[in-house]
Structure 1
Amino acid sequence: MYCIKTLAFLPLLVSSVLGQAGKIRYMPFGDSITEIICWRGLLYTQLQAAGYTNVDFVGSGNGQNPSGCSTATYDRDNEGHSGFLAINIANNKQLVGWLQKNPADIITMHLGTNDISQGKPTADILTAFSKLIDVMRASNPTMKIIVAQIIPNNYINPGVQALNKAIPAWAVSKNTTSSPIWVVDQYTGFRTSDLSDGIHPNAAGDAVMASRWFPALKRAINLMNVTGH
């Protein structure tokens, strides 16, 4: 995982979340790889087991994989939208309304698959990402932002690789002290056998994705505990 903002000043906390007042609002944001999958349930379970019991998943949707997930009970709220392009979400200012209805403190973003499948250039996708980051910060100036280098795709993988290669430098250019961006590598080591249909994760892929989101999300939560926001 690439860490854009160094947090060496943070103590290695066994989280003090249990003693913290109020909820930490976390928005899983993306396309179908966020909406109709099971990694959200696995991530919720990992957070609960680690003592992060006041993390409130937020978003306008509450769906999951139609075939069901191994995690029966979890906070299903999310802002995943199947088939949506980052470019369209940004240009249509859809995230503005979503965050007005469901404000967040932390966001994970896995977007770009649909843009690539429609032949959108990497530069245009990154421009959309920048607009989305600006919307997040307008909603919450101290938003903690976790951006994925997206999972492989059997049909458009050269485009996926091009986007993923460009994301770390883009993230550095957009990083701020008050609203840090972390990049999580969801691509490296993700196998073809971890995909159900060449596009979406299967159960093994869900486990990979949850395990890679978790350290970054934990770091963002711990940073909020130290700074108070």
Structure 2
Amino acid sequence: MLAMMALLVAGTVMGAGAAAAESNGGVRVMPLGDSITEGTQVPGGYRIGLWQRLAGGRYTIDFVGSQFNGPGNLGDHDHEGHPGWRIDQIDANITGWLRTYTPRTVLLHLGTNDILQNYNVAGAPQRLSTLIDHITAAVPDADVLVATIIPLSNAGQEAAARTFNAAVPGIVQSKASSGKRVHLVDMHSKLTTADLIDGVHPTAGGYDKMAAAWYAALQSVSGSIGQPGDGSSGAVAIRGVGSGRCLDVSGASQVNGAQAHIWDCSGQPNQQWTPTASGELRVYGGKCLDVSNRSTADAAGVGIWDCNGQSNQQWRFNADGTITAVGANKCLDVPSYSTANGVKLQIYTCHTGTNQRWTRVG
């Protein structure tokens, strides 16, 4: 780790390829696509300028993916950009990647290689539509930002790119109309061929124009990058509406697997929960509220475990006072509407009863 930090400080360009993931507990964003996502010609590509804008805006973001590259002024090198890959090749792998990295937000720029390889170009919009369906099925709570592809210098290829791009708004609209969290990003109009270093890949300035477009789009989609600040809203007590008692770690234990229950509100550290931008509820700094064994079943138990970024440690506060376990899509629940000290908590199908409603007290 120290060696990695030294490389980053020195600004050394990191080689492309897979590496151990970098994580800061922030909102997980997956840059997804081909060499333009990877950053061919300018390692890191648009991710450099996007990271810098996000950091400047005080957003806490965790780029995720199986690939890793970029310079030292890119604070997180993880991504899912695959040089030379077409839509069908990304689609063949996407479900596994999404299950591994559970992104909150996906940035999709893809289709250039379908055109460059003249690979059934007429069918490319339908392949993109199918890919989007697979993304929204695997991570239904994620926002998926779909970009039109950037210009190409070759006139014939650019004409094909424009035809492809013309289909993208309708695809995105059809998904959004069916309730999917899919959003259009007009990337093509943000660059010209003068922004290309080799007729295909942007210059550093061109990539920065892409970064600006992504950043503006992310800011326009509520929740896609959390809220500006330090990555959390500060420690709070979480009090049950029905019981008047607080979410508490049994026996003030810090052992993995210690159960969560309700207890008289005391303000002690085992009742102090810190929501993070990535959806965690942290206690004692490094432990997270956790659905046992990643279960999705009604009555599955809830406890604490070392924070690991998995979906069974992600929680969403809802306007009706419920708290959803994101991985299971069920609510934090006090069994049988009990109000007694020591009642162990569970997840259960959401119904908004008072035993599933909570207030934050901080």
TM-score range, shorter chain: 0.7 to 0.9
Q: Judging changes above 3 Å, is the alpha-carbon distance between structure 1 residues 106 and 178 closer, same or farther for their aligned structure 2 residues?
A: farther
Q: Unpaired segments of 5 or more residues in structure 1?
A: 1-21
- Partner of residue 62 from structure 1, selected from 59, 68, 74: 68
The TM-score, its normalising length taken from structure 1, stands at 0.79
Q: Unpaired segments of 5 or more residues in structure 2?
A: 1-24, 228-315, 318-325, 327-362
- Which residue of structure 2 lines up, in the alignment, with residue 49 of structure 1? 56
Partner SS for 2:223: helix
Larger RCO (CA within 8 A; separation ≥ 6):
1
Structure 1: distance between partners of 2:104 and 2:158: 32
**Could you say which structure has the larger radius of gyration?**
2
Corresponding letter in the other structure for 1:30? G
178-187 or 142-151, which deviates more:
178-187
Q: Judging changes above 3 Å, is the alpha-carbon distance between structure 1 residues 179 and 173 closer, same or farther for their aligned structure 2 residues?
A: closer
97-106 or 118-127, which deviates more:
118-127
- RMSD between aligned alpha carbons? 2.2
Aligned: 1:83 with 2:84: yes
- Which residue of structure 2 lines up, in the alignment, with residue 4 of structure 1? none
Aligned: 1:72 with 2:73: yes
Corresponding letter in the other structure for 2:184? V
71-80 or 169-178, which deviates more:
169-178
**What CA deviation, in whole Å up to 9, does each residue of 1:5-37 have, x standing for no partner?**
xxxxxxxxxxxxxxxxx6311000000000024
Partner SS for 1:188: helix
- Which residue of structure 2 lines up, in the alignment, with residue 39 of structure 1? 46
Partner SS for 2:221: helix
Structure 2: distance between partners of 1:78 and 1:221: 22
Deviating runs (4+, > 4 A) in structure 1? 223-229
Q: Do the aligned partners of 1:28 and 1:58 also contact (CA within 8 Å) in 2?
A: yes
Q: Judging changes above 3 Å, is the alpha-carbon distance between structure 1 residues 81 and 119 closer, same or farther for their aligned structure 2 residues?
A: same
Taking the TM superposition and a 5 Å limit, the aligned residue runs for 1:133-144 are: 133-144=132-143
Deviation of residue 130 (structure 1)?
2.0
Q: Do the aligned partners of 1:122 and 1:162 also contact (CA within 8 Å) in 2?
A: no
Identity %, equivalent residues: 35
- Which residue of structure 2 lines up, in the alignment, with residue 126 of structure 1? 125
Deviation of residue 73 (structure 1)?
3.7
180-189 or 139-148, which deviates more:
180-189
Structure 1: distance between partners of 2:121 and 2:183: 19
Q: Do the aligned partners of 1:137 and 1:143 also contact (CA within 8 Å) in 2?
A: yes
**What CA deviation, in whole Å up to 9, does each residue of 1:161-216 have, x standing for no partner?**
10111110111112257532111111114122210100000011011100100011
Q: Judging changes above 3 Å, is the alpha-carbon distance between structure 1 residues 193 and 57 closer, same or farther for their aligned structure 2 residues?
A: same
Partner SS for 1:78: strand
Structure 2: distance between partners of 1:224 and 1:199: 29
Q: How many residue pairs align between the two structures? A: 200
Taking the TM superposition and a 5 Å limit, the aligned residue runs for 1:1-229 are: 23-36=26-39, 37=42, 38-53=45-60, 55-64=61-70, 72-90=73-91, 93-155=92-154, 156-175=157-176, 179-222=180-223, 228=317
Corresponding letter in the other structure for 1:57? F
User: Which structure is higher in strand share?
Assistant: 2
Structure 2: distance between partners of 1:56 and 1:49: 15
Partner SS for 1:154: coil
- Which residue of structure 2 lines up, in the alignment, with residue 16 of structure 1? none
Structure 1: distance between partners of 2:103 and 2:190: 30
Structure 2: distance between partners of 1:175 and 1:159: 25
**What CA deviation, in whole Å up to 9, does each residue of 1:128-162 have, x standing for no partner?**
21222222122211110101111001121011110
Corresponding letter in the other structure for 1:197? D
The TM-score, its normalising length taken from structure 2, stands at 0.52
Corresponding letter in the other structure for 2:139? N
